[in-house]
Amino acid sequence: MTFSWTPHRFSGGVLALDVANSVVLRADPERRIDRFADPAVMDAFAAGANRHGAERALFGPLEPVAPEARAGLVTLREAIDRHFRAEVQAGAKPALLADLLEAAAATLRLSGERPQALDTATARSALLLIARPEPERLKICPNCGWLFLDRSRNRSRAWCDMAVCGNRAKASRHYRRNREEARP
């Protein structure tokens, strides 16, 4: 099956969260899919972010990660996910923040000569996200579990992507309601 980086896959609102969301069904070990497990798919992520990413103007055209830096990007991705997921669910944890800062620093040291590389831009995006003024805008999609930044005016965004997760949730609710009404 061919995989492509569609606009839905960049619904996190910032590059760091889009990278964290490259693991599908993260909380379900039996159905979990790591899109970066395939180096070709990881390399294609940069082109997808150039087309669909919310921060494409901020970082300029991204380049794929150097082969020797792939493991570092995965380490950074996991630190991003752990820190921001914990921040949404239970509040900031200093140890997780330290892990993220260490992963970002290691990435920037290794790829400092490649400012347009995906790993460099991801580290910078994560650092900008840490410094954001409104932490309550960071949310977790109740349908798929992806992290996203709610940029709606009244902070009411509920799903990572209304066209995908929002429609699924509404269709499920409609199906349950009709099924309950049909019962004698």
CA distance 106 to 120: 10
User: Which residue is listed with tokens 């960049």?
Assistant: 10
Query: For 61-82, how does the pLDDT look when each residue is reduced to its tens digit (9 = 90+)?
Result: 999 999 999 999 999 999 999 9
For the chain, residues with pLDDT lower than 70 are 1, 112, 164, 166-184
pLDDT of res. 148? 95
- At residue 172, the pLDDT reads 59
Please tell me the predicted confidence (pLDDT) of residue 177: 64
State the Cα torsion 142-147-151-155 to the nearest 10°: 40
Residue 110 has a pLDDT of 87
Residues 6+ apart with CB under 8 A from 42: 22, 35, 36, 64, 65, 70, 73
Q: Answer yes or no: are the C-beta atoms of 32 and 23 closer than 8 Å.
A: yes
Q: What are phi and psi of 147, to 5 degrees?
A: -85, 145
Q: How many CB atoms lie within 10 A of CB 91?
A: 8
At residue 132, the pLDDT reads 86
